[in-house]
Structure 1
Amino acid sequence: MFGSSHFLQIQGVAMETKCAPSYANLYLGGWEKEIFSDCRLSSLLSNVIAWHRYIDDILIFWSGTRNELTQLMDLLAINSYNLRFTMECSQSMVSYLDLRIHVDPTGRLHSSLYRKPSAGNTILHVTSAHPEPLLGSIPYSQFLRLKRNCTRDTDFHITANELYLRLHSRGYSRSLLKRSFNKVIKLDRNALIHSTTKKHKDTYVRIVTQFSQQHVQMRGIFKKFWPLLTADSTITKYVKPYPEITFKRTPSLRDRLVTSHHTRRDIQMSISTGTFPCGHCDICPFISNNNVTFLPNGKTHKPKFRITCQSIGVVYLASCQCGCFYVGKTKRPFLKCIKDHVNPLYKCLMTTALNRHVGCLHDFDVNSISFAALEHVSLHVRGGGIDQTLLQLETK
């Protein structure tokens, strides 16, 4: 049943940062080099007819059985690169990137457009503050993409009709959509895929400026006064009849505004302060759940912050049922510091002063100690160390 070739698509984790594609190419390249040199996988990888990867999406033509394919995927999941994969496998059709690749009864490959079920209509709205030439070119470029992706004309017309409706709902006029469609349908698909046109070096004078709503008036000013430059016998050798105007993105509110480091005190005071368990870790039973801590000297201390097991940068008080106490500090999560004191008690080990006390006097009874946070020092948004501040508060 599985003697013929299979389509297989392996998809990795989505990426958002600018450097992620380059990093992923290097990372996946190292992973590929490792698996193809792995002796355990050599017998299974011999069934791979072709292996194609675009960043973190892999397309494989497979000639083995389904069981062998499942076995290969199980082995690929065990890696030191912390990679996780999802697989789509079929003998007739598979989706890869924005293509739906399928085989017809004669064995020929065909492709059409693929859109994820969760994909929304994110095409730039026609009322957006962008130059008119850019907005007018969007329908043409989108129809052109369909022409390249669709092997057969029937698939092109179906997807073009769906695109027409999406563009129209974003405000593009019917006349613009029809002109763009009629312009694309006359083009030869083979010429679009295998373009042999050589790009000539741009010799125009290029004026780069920020885009604004006055771009029409700007073009009019250039058109009116540019002939003054070309009329000069010296300057005309270095300028063309008309400049090429290139707009760059104008700074938005996000670029102009900065994050405020000021915290409203009334918002802080509205949140209950004190030491509280996070509610979902095994250290919570050792946390003193209260907003007032009774100190060994008989005084009380009320923290100004809400501190849980997950808090970082804490000065804490460890109290024993016999009245002894220990004051410490940590710039790690509070729960990790508590684990360093508690976990050795389960193994009857004495690695810290606190568990030596509990081990010698209370027979390693973990229930004899509890922890409460006294102060919390948060790391500043601009970075910097908190060691000195924690040491001062611990001494206090």
Structure 2
Amino acid sequence: MGGRDGELNKFILKLLHFVLTHNFFIFKDQFYLQQRGTAMGADCAPSYANLFLGMWERLVFGEGGGRLSSHVQCWLRYIDDVLFFWQGTVEQLDEFMGHLNSNNLNIKLTYKHSSRCIDFLDINIEVDQSSTIQTSVHRKSTSVNALLHASSAHTPSTIRAIPTGQFLRTRRICSSDAVFESQSADLRGRFRDRGYSNRCIRRGYLRAKRTPRQQLLNYIPKYQQSDPPVRFIGTHNSHWQTVREILKKHWPVLRSDPILAELLPPGPLMTARRSKNLRDILLIFGADRSRDMLKLYPMYRMKTSDIATWQLEDWDEDIPFPIEHALFSIYMHVHAASLLFLFLVPSTSGIYLCVAP
């Protein structure tokens, strides 16, 4: 491909090469360069992984793919998770997986197989007695109730939309009404535990129940028109509702302009970006930083002593800490599955805040 498109492709490939070969990170005051793969969280990582595994699939099912690839009746992949249907013996399957793992691309697959029931991503797939495939929502045995709490600092529309979205997802995945009702009952209990009102939960449940499952399985474009509508985008804060009311009040003034009237929707559409949370503010790297009454310490290793207390071990001797190997009570409620643990430790020089991932 030549011309402008060819130059643009070369430019994109140069940028991608730079991103993939310049992933530096710091650990205990030492800088490291990642030699292989891409950084987790990079914007290009999913697309790069798709392209990389797409190339690998061509090798698997190409001319040099081996004789056992003909036993694969259906091959489905979501980034790096693969579901395929095998027609052959278990011994042949083991041989085929050994062939897939014998590559120089640093791809190593772990797998499990079953003739009746298997889990793939968030779906449980089961073959019933009549050889019909049935599906339901799969939750890992270690899963916790991580639904966003109803009291979280989000817009009311976001809080109201979460039960609706979860019930619609359950409706889409469950292949039978009986399974949908069973898993909806569990979902209602989890929403109640997270502070959602019965009215909000029931609204989401009824919308999902009244929506035909086939309709949910069909792809619906997000925007039916060529251009998406104009939106007001800002960071969510305590004044968000006030800003919304001001926009609604003066929106007719904007639409009175003949040019803007063709571009703007009938009413203001607002989208809130996530504001900084406690983890964004407290998780720091490098040297110690003082913040008024708080001193922040990055990354301490924790050991459980009992339910109410923790034993703190200094991970790095170069990082000062007022008290070593002591037991401290948890001064605030901390969920066991949180990515960030907070410990307030009283001291004669103020309050010390310890952060542990």
Q: TM-score, normalised by structure 2?
A: 0.63
Structure 1: segments with no counterpart, 5+ residues: 1-12, 265-304, 306-396
Secondary structure of the 1:89 match is coil
The answer to whether the 8 A contact 1:204-1:243 is kept is: no
Please list, as runs of the form range in 1=range in 2, the aligned pairs for 1:131-280 lying within 5 A after superposition: 131-195=155-219, 199-201=223-225, 204-230=229-255, 239-252=264-277, 259-261=285-287
Please list, as runs of the form range in 1=range in 2, the aligned pairs for 1:1-396 lying within 5 A after superposition: 16-18=40-42, 19-37=44-62, 39=64, 42-195=66-219, 199-201=223-225, 204-230=229-255, 239-252=264-277, 259-261=285-287
Q: CA deviation at 1:230?
A: 4.3
Task: Give the Cα–Cα distance (whole angstroms) in 2 for the partners of residues 204 and 75 of structure 1.
Answer: 50
Secondary structure of the 2:111 match is strand
Q: Mark the CA change 1:150 to 1:262 in structure 2 (over 3 Å): closer, same or farther.
A: closer
The answer to whether the 8 A contact 2:230-2:269 is kept is: yes
Residue type at the aligned position of 1:118: T
1:205-237 Cα distance to aligned partner (Å, 9 max, x none): 422222111111112222223334445678656
Task: Give the Cα–Cα distance (whole angstroms) in 1 for the partners of residues 55 and 259 of structure 2.
Answer: 57
Q: CA deviation at 1:56?
A: 0.9
Q: CA deviation at 1:34?
A: 2.0
Q: Mark the CA change 1:259 to 1:170 in structure 2 (over 3 Å): closer, same or farther.
A: same
Task: Give the Cα–Cα distance (whole angstroms) in 1 for the partners of residues 100 and 217 of structure 2.
Answer: 34
Secondary structure of the 1:49 match is strand
| Partner residue in 1 for 2:355 | none
Structure number with greater CO (CA < 8 Å, separation at least 6) is 1
Q: Mark the CA change 1:28 to 1:122 in structure 2 (over 3 Å): closer, same or farther.
A: same
Task: Give the Cα–Cα distance (whole angstroms) in 1 for the partners of residues 171 and 149 of structure 2.
Answer: 22
The answer to whether the 8 A contact 1:102-1:111 is kept is: yes
Residue type at the aligned position of 2:249: K
Task: Give the Cα–Cα distance (whole angstroms) in 1 for the partners of residues 133 and 126 of structure 2.
Answer: 6
Secondary structure of the 1:125 match is coil
Q: CA deviation at 1:65?
A: 0.7
1:347-396 Cα distance to aligned partner (Å, 9 max, x none): xxxxxxxxxxxxxxxxxxxxxxxxxxxxxxxxxxxxxxxxxxxxxxxxxx
Residue type at the aligned position of 1:213: S
The answer to whether the 8 A contact 1:52-1:58 is kept is: yes
Q: Mark the CA change 1:92 to 1:222 in structure 2 (over 3 Å): closer, same or farther.
A: same
Secondary structure of the 2:113 match is strand
Secondary structure of the 1:209 match is strand
Q: Mark the CA change 1:137 to 1:107 in structure 2 (over 3 Å): closer, same or farther.
A: same
Q: Mark the CA change 1:26 to 1:172 in structure 2 (over 3 Å): closer, same or farther.
A: same
Q: CA deviation at 1:195?
A: 4.3
Task: Give the Cα–Cα distance (whole angstroms) in 2 for the partners of residues 170 and 208 of structure 1.
Answer: 28
Q: Mark the CA change 1:255 to 1:94 in structure 2 (over 3 Å): closer, same or farther.
A: closer
| Partner residue in 2 for 1:297 | none
Q: Mark the CA change 1:23 to 1:259 in structure 2 (over 3 Å): closer, same or farther.
A: same
Task: Give the Cα–Cα distance (whole angstroms) in 1 for the partners of residues 271 and 62 of structure 2.
Answer: 49
The answer to whether the 8 A contact 1:99-1:112 is kept is: yes
Q: Mark the CA change 1:108 to 1:23 in structure 2 (over 3 Å): closer, same or farther.
A: same
Task: Give the Cα–Cα distance (whole angstroms) in 2 for the partners of residues 144 and 93 of structure 1.
Answer: 24
Q: CA deviation at 1:142?
A: 0.1
The answer to whether the 8 A contact 1:211-1:249 is kept is: yes
Q: CA deviation at 1:52?
A: 1.4
Aligned residues: 252
1:13-35 Cα distance to aligned partner (Å, 9 max, x none): 9x942333222212222222222
Task: Give the Cα–Cα distance (whole angstroms) in 2 for the partners of residues 235 and 69 of structure 1.
Answer: 62
Q: CA deviation at 1:48?
A: 1.3
Residue type at the aligned position of 1:132: P
Task: Give the Cα–Cα distance (whole angstroms) in 1 for the partners of residues 265 and 41 of structure 2.
Answer: 40
Q: Mark the CA change 1:192 to 1:72 in structure 2 (over 3 Å): closer, same or farther.
A: same
